Structure 1
Amino acid sequence: MTALPIRRRRLLAASALAVAVGLAGCASSEQSSEKSPTANSASGTAKLTIGIAGDEPGLSLASGSSYVGFDIDVANYVAGKLQVPTANITWKVIDQAQRVEALTNGSVDLVVSTFSITTERQKVVDFAGPYFVAHQTLLTRRNDDTITGATTLDGKVLCSAAGTTSGDYIKSHYAGKITLREVPTWSECVRNLHDGTVDAVSTDDVLLAGFASQSKYKGVLKLTGSGLTDERYGVGIKKGDSAMVTKVNAALKEFISSGEWKKSLEKWVTPSGYKIPSPPSVG
């Protein structure tokens, strides 16, 4: 007669324990999501098309059917603060030379693609940021000791992605001294360097560090010389949309102050050996 009540009490205790564990598990999951560098807890039907690169290791690189890297984390975080869930982001890979046009013709809403803020670009598009400051330098073959910096570029063939501040700097400062070969993407430049058809690639140090650390280039290519310029990365926005600039600036400030900026860089960029700088002042 006493066995049934005891069994019931055990079943009730087990059920209560299962509910408690389940609740604890839910709380743990929510906290984990909030701490993730790519956290985007937005919900709803709002959508964004964001222009990105797809071939920049550590910054914006294709990984299966998705993209990973610091720029992707920046874009995803900003989208979340604009109440656009990750599932509603359309990632649009565009060449460096297409970034301004993509914004002006409306094919993208934002551009997050190592997009340097310059006076010339600000005439036709707006920027939020900067969210990172890089420095233009050189990538050369490891066994080439003829190039030690900018002063040893005479007679050399350099590669740059078309439509970039890096290419513009080389053309304005080394015209007649070097041959500049412009191609659509940085990955093509690096392949040309590896194959021996150009002598060096010149662009931002954080980008070149990512390429140099890839397994197929590690020990073969090296960063050379000191920074030629400061490159202030901004989020590109259609000209005149001051409300969007304000919102994105607020999101970038929070991305930095929350510690997610540093976490993302440590995850994606630090493995290349690149030393993480102090965060810039946004706005």
Structure 2
Amino acid sequence: MKLRKASAAAAAALVLSLTATACGGGSGSGSDDGKITIGIKFDQPGLGLKKPDGTFAGFDVDVATYVAKELGYEAKDIEWKQTPSAERENMIANGDVKFVVASYSINDERKQKVDFAGPYFVAHQDLLVRADDSSITKAEDLNSKKLCSVTGSTPAQNVKEKLAPKADLQEFGGYSECLTGLENKAVDAITTDDSILAGYASQKEHQGKFKLTGLKLSDENYGIGLKKGDTDLQSKINKALEKMESDGSWEKAVKANFGPANYKNDPAPKITEGS
């Protein structure tokens, strides 16, 4: 009798567990219980930064918040998830996030694994060097230098394959590590998008220490990454981005996040993905 009761209880518990999983969508859906999980960077001033008080700021954060609202989620419903460059495709494919807004350049290799909405911003690859360093004025100068970027980033590969194949490339998990290396003279330059570099250079503790070389080494079209084949979400995000540009919110976000660095941005790009 006791055995039969235990078996019945176990069966009931199993049914309840399966029911809860079906209703809740599990931990991999990216949006559960009225919440939405969005992937951003936590260490990119001006784009995606987790502040000491636990709040988040930056242009990507503003774009993601606007898009989420158009999808029916208020700011309080957003759960931000740190999304390193090398993990973006995996986190989207696994359903860890609903979508990713993290200085995510659209390219053909990535489009084999994920889909994009947008683009919503155009940046250009550049170099950040120490303010007193006049030895790096063009990409070829990096061939005898130590160059830093993050693992999995497009700019790092662009330098190694096309611009300065003999550069001593150092790859780290985040740009903040590169910045420490640049300040300590462990590396000679950092390469990534000018928007990211401008964000770092404009921080109060870094002002006057570094400078952008102003080299437009590539065009980087930032897109919002989402699960392959989710054309419904792609269409909704594209419409949200178009609305953000037309109602002035896009320009307002650009000025708020990049204005202090006197960053001269390109106009809002035309939506090309999914069209």
Query: Do the two structures share a fold, i.e. TM-score over 0.5?
Result: yes
Range of TM-score over shorter length: 0.7 to 0.9
1:8: which partner in 2?
none
CA distance in 2, matches of 1:169, 1:243: 33
Q: Is the 8 A contact 2:99 2:226 kept in 1?
A: yes
Can you list the C-alpha shifts for 1:41-74, whole angstroms capped at 9, x where unaligned?
A: xxxx632110000111111111211101111010
- Residues matched between the structures, number: 240
The structure with more radius of gyration: 1
2:241: which partner in 1?
252
Task: Give 1:54's aligned amino acid.
Answer: F
Deviation, structure 1 residue 86: 1.4
1:266: which partner in 2?
255
CA distance in 2, matches of 1:56, 1:176: 27
Task: Give 1:221's aligned amino acid.
Answer: F
Task: Give 1:48's aligned amino acid.
Answer: I
1:61: which partner in 2?
49
Relative to 1, partners in 2 of residues 1:174 and 1:277: Cα closer, same or farther, differing over 3 Å?
Answer: closer
CA distance in 2, matches of 1:211, 1:81: 30
CA distance in 2, matches of 1:274, 1:225: 11
CA distance in 2, matches of 1:67, 1:236: 19
CA distance in 2, matches of 1:176, 1:236: 29
CA distance in 2, matches of 1:242, 1:46: 21
1:167: which partner in 2?
156
Can you list the C-alpha shifts for 1:109-160, whole angstroms capped at 9, x where unaligned?
A: 1100000000000010000000000000100001111101212112111001
| Aligned: 1:52 with 2:40 | yes
Q: Is the 8 A contact 2:38 2:99 kept in 1?
A: yes
CA RMSD of aligned residues (A): 1.4
CA distance in 1, matches of 2:231, 2:38: 18
CA distance in 2, matches of 1:225, 1:150: 11
Aligned-partner SS, 2:224: strand
CA distance in 1, matches of 2:182, 2:195: 18
CA distance in 2, matches of 1:91, 1:78: 14
CA distance in 2, matches of 1:92, 1:176: 34
2:90: which partner in 1?
101
Aligned-partner SS, 2:80: strand
TM norm structure 2: 0.84
> Which of 198, 208, 211 is the equivalent residue of 2:187?
198
Task: Give 1:185's aligned amino acid.
Answer: G
Q: Is the 8 A contact 1:150 1:225 kept in 2?
A: no
Relative to 1, partners in 2 of residues 1:269 and 1:176: Cα closer, same or farther, differing over 3 Å?
Answer: closer
Q: Is the 8 A contact 1:104 1:125 kept in 2?
A: yes
TM norm structure 1: 0.82
CA distance in 2, matches of 1:272, 1:59: 13
Deviation, structure 1 residue 76: 0.4
Q: Is the 8 A contact 2:139 2:163 kept in 1?
A: no
Q: Is the 8 A contact 1:46 1:88 kept in 2?
A: yes
Aligned-partner SS, 1:237: strand
**Unaligned segments of structure 1, at least 5 residues:** 1-44
CA distance in 1, matches of 2:221, 2:211: 23
Q: Is the 8 A contact 1:270 1:276 kept in 2?
A: no
1:6: which partner in 2?
none
1:157: which partner in 2?
146
Q: Is the 8 A contact 2:125 2:192 kept in 1?
A: yes
Aligned-partner SS, 1:117: coil
Identity within the alignment, %: 45
CA distance in 2, matches of 1:185, 1:81: 31
CA distance in 1, matches of 2:88, 2:78: 17
Task: Give 2:203's aligned amino acid.
Answer: Q
Deviation, structure 1 residue 174: 4.5
CA distance in 1, matches of 2:262, 2:229: 39
Aligned-partner SS, 2:226: strand
Residue pairs, 1:6-25, within 5 angstroms? none
